[in-house]
Homo-oligomer: A and B are copies of this chain.
């Protein structure tokens, strides 16, 4: 049976697009933006706010200046979003095989003892800069590099904060692929192939 597939990715590696194509090929649901919308509905937060804050931690909070003492007793808005996303991820997983991109989904499922096929998509900085420039045409190389560094740092911090584990440790993944050297189509093919052989 096709498993639940989680995709973790470096910014600019094309992991989101690869996940979407894998879901289409396997004819299973794809969750990413959709999770965000459902979380918005569930938590009562405005959609724009969640899209903007969805992968921020409560450290360096831009909304409220919570003192350390009060932060120990109250959840920050980001913590509430994380918990709401967690619930949505578990709901999605409960419905059967699907592809879930990002949002610590590998960790969320693992802590609930739900077996998933965990995939990491990465690429060299050089290849990611190329891809980001192609995608967001207006960017110069320097801006692309800055954007990648910022996004990666944000995701790593988010993962570290909510899972207490380091992002990108190969031990956490059944499969890791270099989308820069292999190309998007080959990655889609290999993930699909592994999903069909996954026990």
A-to-B contact residues, CB < 8 Å: 120, 122, 124, 168, 170-171, 173-178, 181-183, 186, 189-190, 193-194, 197-199
User: How many copies make up the complex?
Assistant: 2
A174 touches B173 (CB 8 A): no
Closest to A168 in B: B170
- With contacts A183-B199, A193-B193, A194-B182 taken as known, whether A122 is within 8 angstroms of B171 at the C-beta atoms is yes
Residues of B within 8 A of A197 (CB): 182, 186, 189-190
Out of B120, B182, B193, B194, name the residue touching A198 (CB < 8 Å): B182
- Could you say which residues of chain B place their CB within 8 Å of the CB of A190? 175, 190, 193-194, 197
* In the bound complex, CA of A168 to CA of B176 (Å): 12
A169, chain B: closest CB distance, angstroms = 8
Chain B residues with Cβ below 8 Å from A177 are 174-176
Contact A186/B176 with A120-B170, A122-B170, A122-B171 known, Cβ cut-off 8 Å: no
For A122, A173, A178, which residue has the most chain B Cβ atoms within 10 angstroms? A178
A122, A170, A182, A199 interface centre (most CB from chain B within 10 Å): A170
